[in-house]
Amino acid sequence: MNNSPIGIYDSGFGGLSVWRELRRELPDESLLYLGDGKNCPYGSLPEERIREVADEAVATLLAQGCKMVVVACNTATSAAIEFLRDKYHNVPIVGLEPAVKPACERSRTGVVGVVATERSLESEKFLNTLARYNNGVRVIRQVGRGFVEAVEANEESLPTTRELVHSVIEPIIEQGADIIVLGCTHYPFLREVINDVVGEREVEIIDSGEAVAKRVEYLLDELNLRAENGASAEYRFMTFADEEYKERLRRKAFGEI
């Protein structure tokens, strides 16, 4: 048993989509969320820079006594997960990867779309996953340009955001994809808009949130790190930006904005 918090880290608001899944699946666990906010978006930063900030983020969470860290950011995972696991080898570190494997297994049309940041789609880690699991399925890779910025600005329901989302998602559907993978943790916040683009067509949208929550649960049991039954969970937020950003993180987490 261990009542210390689970640390969750992302470039900004995106990892809150994972935070929500963890809170739902593991209601006894305290969560400490670090949304960088200062260096966001990571999507087009050089890999070395992402490693530096990810290092600082994990060190910050561990200094707060976290028993486990979830890198709730596909971009930081692809750039830094091995480095982080090497450096902080006493602590379990869970990363996020686009759900390419289940998508390729389930596709009936043999065409799948993956929407993610430029850095994630170009990464060696992603290309290896693709080569390993695509299994003859055609995988259309598409950068969700402007998506992260729209979520960070709370502009999910603006007409300009709808147009932006349409311009990325519609061509993927037109090419025959029946599954679209959201490979960035910011994108689930655009789910309603994406669903509107899909409309009545049979296209499944998947992200990695639930699978990560299950992985965390498995590791907590495996390593005997679960919080006590009925422990009163605390939810705290941190940022490398300012107080205002921190307050926005909290409000976004609880669906107030």
**Annotated catalytic sites, by residue?**
73, 184
Residue found under tokens 């430029």: 118
Binding segment for ligand DGL (CB under 6 A), chosen from 26-34, 37-45, 53-61, 209-217, is 37-45
| Tokens representing residue 16 in the block | 């809150």
- Please report which helix (H) or strand (E) contains residue 252, including its range: helix 243-253
> Should residue 142 be labelled a site residue for ligand DGL when binding is judged by CB under 6 A?
no
- Residue 40 and residue 107 in contact, taking contact as beta carbons nearer than 8 Å: no
> Should residue 14 be labelled a site residue for ligand DGL when binding is judged by CB under 6 A?
yes
> Should residue 123 be labelled a site residue for ligand DGL when binding is judged by CB under 6 A?
no
Question: Site for ligand DGL (CB under 6 A): how many residues?
Answer: 16
Residue found under tokens 């402007």: 146
> Should residue 121 be labelled a site residue for ligand DGL when binding is judged by CB under 6 A?
no
> Should residue 239 be labelled a site residue for ligand DGL when binding is judged by CB under 6 A?
no
> Should residue 11 be labelled a site residue for ligand DGL when binding is judged by CB under 6 A?
yes
What's the gap between Cα 188 and its chain centre?
Answer: 9
Q: Whole-angstrom Cα distance, residue 144 to residue 161? A: 11
Taking the CA atoms of the chain, what radius of gyration do you get in angstroms? 18
CA-angle at 142, arms to 50 and 133, nearest 5°? 85
The residue among 198, 209, 148, 141 whose CA lies nearest residue 173 is: 198
- Please report which helix (H) or strand (E) contains residue 6, including its range: strand 6-10
Among 70, 148, 173, 212, binds ligand DGL (CB under 6 A): 148
Binding segment for ligand DGL (CB under 6 A), chosen from 10-18, 19-27, 60-68, 173-181, is 10-18
> Should residue 17 be labelled a site residue for ligand DGL when binding is judged by CB under 6 A?
no
Which C-beta is closer to ligand DGL: that of 148 or that of 238? 148
The residue among 176, 188, 144 whose CA lies nearest residue 16 is: 188
**Contacts to ligand DGL from residues 39-58, by CB under 6 A:** 40-43
Among 75, 107, 142, 239, binds ligand DGL (CB under 6 A): 75
> Should residue 185 be labelled a site residue for ligand DGL when binding is judged by CB under 6 A?
yes
Binding footprint of ligand DGL on the chain (CB under 6 A) = 10-11, 14, 40-43, 73-75, 117, 120, 148, 184-186
